[in-house]
Amino acid sequence: MAEIINGRELAKQVNQNTSLRIAKLAQRGVQPGIADILVGNDPASRIYSRTKRRKAEQMGIKFMIAQFPESATEQELMRTIEQFNKDETINAILVQAPLPDHLDQVHLINAIDPQKDVDGFHPINVGKLYNKQPGNYPVACTPRGIMKMLEHYDVDLPGKNVVIVGRSILVGRPLQSLMINANATVTIAGRHTKNLSALTRTADILIVAAGQAKMIGANDVKPGAVVIDVGINRTAEGKLIGDVDFDAVKKVASLITPVPGGVGPMTVASMLAQSVDLTEWKINGEE
Ligand code: NAD
């Protein structure tokens, strides 16, 4: 029976560490600041934004939500991003997805100052990660949280077969780079992958980020594998479940994340920690 990764507890530890760093910055008269750009009325995005704000403010981070109506134009948003880029009290800028169809997420991300790109989506930061450049730069928060989890649970990566299901810019692609940089042997699967089950069964570490409820069952997992479930799916009854059939897979895996209470809390904790990284790098001239 697998050991269950406690993402909530680990996120608490990460947040405690972040709070200590915020207190040290306060002694130097500095408060980290996050600007969250929210467009339209997507209920999940509004809840997510509020959760981030509550946590950030509890920890002493300034958190601004720039709320725009569904009809906002790219020009208006660009102007706001430009203002936040110049604003010395803002160290981290987020553009909350999903955006209405008439807005181009790529244009908006590319307009963010790479040194304030707390989501790690700007092509300059993605390129630095891809090339394993030395120095400090932000990386996507969900993959960052996953790497922290694996480190905390002493999961050895060099030479291990890692299979990632899902190749989005949010999860799969940056995670692939982080895993390669950690000397793992990485395969990344998508919708066109043939015989996925045979592939996932080769994984010492299987990470699933496809957004398909319970797509991975016990027969898709090698006995003793580490299984990280990124998926968040809502059942007809309103329950949150992952991409992995948790009850079945926990019987064959050695270590597994639950949904909820696994990757999710670590994503928020990683974003908050990264906003403090950006602040420290700025004032220490370490960008
Ligand atoms: P996305 O839709 O952008 O990407 C999904 C990827 O999965 C695509 O590359 C697609 O090719 C692949 N895919 C879909 N169905 C597949 C299948 N049957 N077989 C193989 N590959 C398949 O999604 P995303 O933004 O990367 O999110 C993925 C999931 O992770 C969603 O459920 C999302 O809610 C969740 N998520 C959770 C967190 C968190 O913090 N827990 C963070 C980000 C995303």
| Catalytic residue status for 96 | yes
Averaged pLDDT, 34-61: 94
| Residue 110 CA to its chain's centroid (Å) | 18
Ligand 1 centroid distance, CA of 282 (Å): 33
With 80 as the cut, is the pLDDT of residue 287 above it?
no
Q: Kindly report the protein residue whose alpha carbon is nearest to atom 5 of ligand 1.
A: 210
With 90 as the cut, is the pLDDT of residue 241 above it?
yes
Domain layout of the chain by residue ranges: 29-113, 141-264
Bridge partners, 189 (sequence order): 165
pLDDT tens column, 114-160: 999 999 999 999 999 999 999 999 999 999 999 999 999 999 999 99
Start-to-end C-alpha separation, the chain? 44
Catalytic residue among 55, 96, 160, 229: 96
* Ligand 1 atom nearest residue 167's Cα: 9
The domains spanning 29-113 and 141-264 adopt the same CATH topology: yes
* Ligand 1 atom nearest residue 266's Cα: 40
Averaged pLDDT, 271-286: 96
196 lines ligand 1 (CB under 6 A): yes
**Measured between alpha carbons, how far is 53 from 19 in angstroms, rounded to an integer?**
15
| Catalytic residue status for 117 | no
Distances (CA, A) of 229 to 1, 71, 95, 164, 285: 17, 35, 24, 10, 37
| Catalytic residue status for 220 | no
Tokens of 88: 């010395």
189 lines ligand 1 (CB under 6 A): yes
- The CATH-assigned architecture of domain 29-113 is 3-Layer(aba) Sandwich (3.40)
What class has domain 141-264?
A: alpha beta
Mutate to test the pocket of ligand 1, among 105, 148, 232, 257 (most ligand atoms within 8 A of CB): 232
Tokens of 206: 């299987």
